[in-house]
Amino acid sequence: MRLTRLASMDPHLVLGLVNTALRNEAEDLVDLIATHDLDEAALRATLLSIGYVYDPLTRQFRASGPEPG
């Protein structure tokens, strides 16, 4: 999967693509960034714009707000 065009994609689509790549291809965010030559700050900013931050424990971007319920 080529993730080099993330900046021009809808942030919700980016979320799905990145979390899938983290689950299937990468050891962690550092590995994903290096493998796909991504701008980490831009990726984080894109996903933060829709309320998601990287959680190193689950190795995925998750909603940054309080848990529902």
Residue-wise pLDDT for 5-38, tens only, equals 777 889 999 999 999 999 999 999 999 999 988 9
Q: Is 12 exposed, middle or buried (0-12, 13-18, 19+ CB in 10 A)?
A: exposed
Mean pLDDT of the chain: 89
- DSSP-based three-state secondary structure for 3: coil
The whole model's pTM is what? Answer: 0.85
Predicted confidence band at 4 (pLDDT cuts at 50, 70, 90)? low
- Residue 2's pLDDT is 61
